[in-house]
Chain A
């Protein structure tokens, strides 16, 4: 029923690390929830079910907990179902996760020969005997990626996560997505092991796309939680890039590099858990103070809520992969493994991988831009609304939650070797080479890439150096005893007010304009001009909305198709009201005919004859002639 090997334990640790600070936070958040019993019941069931998924040892248990996880998270989204938006988001989320479940179910049924109590260990043999392993791979992929929110199954994320109460969105985005990653580790290694090269490439491509698309839509968001949700898509993409590299190396028999890449993926999984939870908590506190998710209504909150601001800053640095943060380290590892691609002896692949590198680098750059926006507009400058003006620091429990999560982030930064060693254990458990000795050959100070002539980074030294130099400079500044004067912002002499500062929309403006072909934004500009002047106007309002491309193209059309289909089915099925006898008549005719033809002896002539006869009799008896 349950198993506790290293992989499971590592993910248990991940869930615990994610959940414990969240417990504090959510208990601090609880007073602001109306349906407390409902909330808490589902909240704890949710955490337990996630634990259940990662420790379950047979398909039945796995599916049970998996579905329980979806169910509870769905109910949690509905905790504060006030407006239509929330309800639709919840519905969308649930159908998407069920869609994934369908494929998972098929996958499991096939690899267990229909007997779901069989453990994961014995699945490998059955899967090996199956004729179409790629089919299995795609079933599994669809199943897990629809939960992890990778392109093109990512559309639900920016809707569902923001609508949940903040602790829950922290859990969902930080932890639940990782459970899907666990699933990929578990079943790709235990069940589908020898991977063809194509699989790795597929995952790599999906990863690159997700990372780019995620960050691009994050940039165009005004809803802070949706912004963070989009960043989850991006980070899942980064994890998948590492994962894909690992698979590619493995199928090219570069075992060392593959272990390295997988470790990088795992490391980034942990990092994303930590800083994304922290960011959602911060966003939650801000939301909780200002009662709006619209980033344009914030501003200057750093003065009111210093703790939130500090933790949010740390998380932002980390998620933007800036040295010496943990986010930087994991992305560094992923980069190094990609640079290791120069060892591949497959030129076309070699030429392809730089594009992935490009995608990752681009993502990094855009992520920085996006978090400058998120942090700057939210916490810096002047308050843009009265709510923001009257905001103050959140209560003790919530603060504790955030600080604990910050501690997790920092620990990931400071004790990298320890964590790496752990992940190394995991890979050993999964039958891969152990590369810890190669990553930290002599001391724990320097972190080596395992590629030949690979780069080296020494996180702690970097950290020390940065802190030292900064401290030195500040000390010097203090020593100078500079005269200081407080005065209004000059701003070329214009009067600075909340109105004159840059908005988030404006900040993302250049980038949005550059990617116009992708966004296809709909812009609303209304302007009260004075006496028909073009330039002089009393008031003007500009806002821009971006509808994700995939949703506009893929999902809407599916919905339309379903509608049309159901309409026709509906019309057809109403013949029975008047013509039931005729219908049964034709039905019996068809059945007998088919039995006669297929069950007794088959000949095309009779088959065609049947067709003709059936058509005639349906026309005559059911449809009848036009009135």
Chain B
């Protein structure tokens, strides 16, 4: 089940790379976050770790529902461009993504022996980090970049949840706080943009 979710996580991210519409992108992102949340819940109840459960719920509420909605609202408010064409050609992307996956597995090969939950999780999260970077670099407009950044956050969480069975509560809350802060700042920046225009 967990592996399935991880797979789903990765898949949603990869699909997000190919979308050329903003709302579609938001949808994929929320799906991505949803899988992350579910992952947290499952692992949490597997090791009955309260903190993990809270994280999972928070993730689902904030990331899967809240932020996508907020972004959609903002994009409507400030008329952001919805037509987002990936800069990197599809042909390249097709080669790149598997290459990244292979590389990350090769990278995490020496650590297979050590952590309980296996090195594949680390591999997957690193690759998702790279993929979200890819997402950032293949778009010019602001909105997809923000989403890329959020995906990166997700990758972090994935790492935190799977590889290390959850970080200290404090840290996770702090990360959430910063995320909200980021959204606020983004909001302000967009405001200014309007003011300038």
Contact = CB atoms under 8 A, between A and B. Distances in A.
B106 A581 contact: no
B78 interface: no
Interface string A565-586: 0000000000000010110110
A600 B137 contact: no
A309 to B, nearest CB: 77
B150 to A, nearest CB: 14
Interface string A66-94: 00000000000000000000000000000
Nearest to B148: A581
Interface string B131-158: 0011011000000010010000000000
Given A596-B106, A620-B92, A581 B137 contact: yes
Contacts of B70: none
A544 to B, nearest CB: 62
B96 A620 contact: yes
Contacts of B103: 589, 593, 613
Contact of B137 (A588, A592, A601, A621): A621
B107 interface: yes
A342 interface: no
Contacts of A581: 133, 136-137, 145, 148
A45 interface: no
A593 B134 CA distance: 18
B44 to A, nearest CB: 30
B168 interface: no
B110 interface: yes
A617 interface: yes
Nearest to A595: B107
Most B C-beta atoms less than 10 A away, residue of A581, A588, A592, A600: A581
A579 B96 contact: no
B99 A613 contact: yes
A476 B110 CA distance: 106
A582 B110 CA distance: 27
Contacts of B110: 596, 600-601
Interface majority SS on A: helix, strand, loop or mixed?
Answer: helix
Given A589-B103, A613-B103, A621 B88 contact: yes
A601 B133 CA distance: 28
B27 interface: no
Contacts of A592: 107, 126
Interface string A373-401: 00000000000000000000000000000
A526 to B, nearest CB: 63
B137 A596 contact: no
A620 B86 CA distance: 14
Interface residues of B, number: 16
Contact of A585 (B92, B107, B126, B133): B133
A621 B126 CA distance: 19
Contacts of A584: 133
Contacts of A620: 88, 92, 96
A594 to B, nearest CB: 11
A588 B148 CA distance: 17
Contacts of B107: 592-593, 596
Nearest to B135: A581
Interface in A584-627: 584-585, 588-589, 592-593, 596, 600-601, 613, 617, 620-621
Nearest to B108: A596
Given A613-B99, A617-B96, A620-B96, A585 B106 contact: no
B176 interface: no
Nearest to B140: A578
B130 interface: yes
Contacts of B130: 585, 588-589
A600 B110 CA distance: 8
A298 B165 CA distance: 91
A533 to B, nearest CB: 76
Q: Which 5 A-B pairs have the closest CB atoms?
A: A581-B137, A581-B136, A582-B137, A585-B133, A600-B110
6 contacts: A581-B137, A584-B133, A585-B133, A593-B103, A596-B110, A620-B96
Interface of A: 579, 581-582, 584-585, 588-589, 592-593, 596, 600-601, 613, 617, 620-621
Given A593-B103, A613-B99, A620-B88, 17 more contacts: A579-B137, A581-B137, A581-B145, A585-B133, A585-B134, A585-B137, A589-B103, A589-B130, A592-B107, A593-B107, A596-B106, A596-B107, A596-B110, A601-B110, A620-B96, A621-B88, A621-B137
Interface of B: 88, 92, 96, 99, 103, 106-107, 110, 126, 130, 133-134, 136-137, 145, 148
